[in-house]
Amino acid sequence: MPPPDRFAPLAVLAARPGAGRIAPLLADARRCARLTLTLDDLSLDLTRTAIDEAALDALLGLATTAGLDDFRARLFAGAPVNVTERRAAMHMALRAPDGTVLPAWHRNGPEDAAALAAAERARMRDFVVRVHAGELRGATGLPFTRVVNLGIGGSDLGPRVVTEALTMARADAPLAASFVANMDATALAAALAGCDPARTLFLIASKSFTTEETAANAAAARAWIAAALGESAVGAHFVALSTNLPAVAAFGIPPERVFGFRDWVGGRYSLWSPVGLVIALAAGWPAFQALLDGAWAMDCHFRDAPFAANLPVMLALAGIWHINAEHRPTRSVLAYDERLRRLPAHLQQVEMESNGKRVGLDGAPVAWPTQPVIFGEPGTSAQHSFMQLVHQGPAVIPVDFILAAEADHDRPAAHRALAAHAIAQASALAHGRSAAAARASLAARGTPPAEIDRLAPHLVCPGDRPSAFILFRRLDAFSLGRLIALYEHKVAVQGWLWGIDSFDQWGVELGKELAGGLEPALSPGGAVAGIPDPAAASLIARFRALRGEA
């Protein structure tokens, strides 16, 4: 017999007549106060959802009966909450202040995760300071002016979004930064175009040092340095963010240029670890430390605040309402800040890799929907692409709006216009435009009656489309760390409520395993063993024919 659907009571509430209406709820000042949560200057506004008092009470009740408080305690106690891999998920230790004690389960017992993280962080800080001071230089004695991060997945997406956000508008960034994730050789060629080998430092971000894409790019980068500066220059121009010391040594990187981290740090949660070294090199150590401090502030809030005042918990519960009560399988993230243009991509991994699961902690299929599909672009660019669908398409797509109140440029009028668009979009989604309003708008333009009849249906926007609005004072390293940690903890809450493991990612392995077997068949005269089916064989044959290798 399948397990009972723990979300069925929510679905009953969502099915009440008029329960999906949002606009009428916005006049309730008491509800507005209850659904607007704050942490210092950061606010989370959930008023533009269909969550009324009954739904909110039910959601908070679900969190309590599902044992979320116990899960939260075990998470911060370093218990092996990553059930399938028997690991802790203690990325919070990476941003804990020096002197903090945070245990984490590692192999056969607990260890002081915060102390280990602090020790490696001190080594990172020393390295960054010495590079910026010109004490650590390239093989020819020239100081480094560019850092190139070679990594994929969590070793690219998080560090990339943070580095871009903190350096895009800065003319005084200590080092220019480039990122190479794709094993397509074009990506590395583009990153190296115009680079001076004598002034370029490479970071190889791969815990295992065997990730195929990263290994291929690292080998090509090594050859580029060796060709320009000689084989003996390799050790001066590469840093490894890895735990595979023998492989790193074989590559030619000395031990003092190797920075590691434990298996209680998942890839998509690793930007706070040595994987974030590129952030510190490009933005400076004070910015990296502020990033950690912001994340730690959110960690403490998530750990200590009651559910009804807890930003990650409430953001998670709003998502549960949209997914499991209203059955919305998609969500959009709109950051009204060009510096956060890569944030949706990072959240795609943090959320979809974490919670894109179909079986529960016990290995049995779950009886309810889990992670929605996430997509996004910076506002206002999104308004000129997919927001047509969000406003008028048949599917209802919840939206997360993200906005800083203050800009870091000297065009305040431009920022006010940007903010006006963000707030207007949230309001337009909630209120929509009725047929009567559409007709009145056309009439005010002097449109003839026959044209009003023809055009009015096309101007109608249904409204009652939900959104969350995240607002903070300004985008800096501290607020960015706090924002990313907000989403990390929201993911953990939803995973627990869905009864899945948010900290493994077995689904990414299958395609990689198949690729390894297919690669020989793509080479001239290569073996054809391991091809899974005639369709794949036909595709390989066409590929080889187009290359003249049939």
Catalytic positions are 353, 384, 512
> How many CA atoms does the CB half-sphere of 382 hold within 13 Å?
25
Q: What is the CA radius of gyration of the chain?
A: 26
**Tokens 């560019």 identify what position?**
146
Residue with tokens 């068949």: 521
User: How far is Cα 311 from Cα 379, in angstroms, rounded to an integer?
Assistant: 23
Q: Are 378 and 387 in contact (CB under 8 A)?
A: no
Q: How far is CA 342 from the centre of its chain?
A: 9
Nearest CA among 461, 71, 462, 456 for reference residue 302 = 71
The angle at the Cα of 537, spanning 535 to 540, to the nearest 5 degrees, equals 110
The count of C-alpha atoms lying within 13 angstroms of the C-alpha of 463, restricted to the half-sphere facing its C-beta, is 20
251: which 2 tokens?
A: 């590559």
Written as one string, the DSSP assignment of 16-62 is: STTTT--GGGGG-HHHHHHTEEEETTEEEE--SSS--HHHHHHHHHH
Structure tokens at 221: 């980068």
Phi, psi for 198 (deg, rounded to 5):
-70, -20
Count Cβ atoms below 10 Å from residue 137 Cβ, excluding itself.
16
Q: How far is CA 398 from the centre of its chain?
A: 17
Give the other-Cβ count within 10 Å of 413's Cβ: 7
Half-sphere exposure of 402 (CA within 13 A, CB side): 24
- DSSP class per residue in 190-241: HHHTT--GGGEEEEEE-SSS--HHHHHHHHHHHHHHHHHH-GGGHHHHEEEE
Check if the beta carbon of residue 392 is closer than 8 Å to that of residue 462.
yes
Residue type present at position 528: V
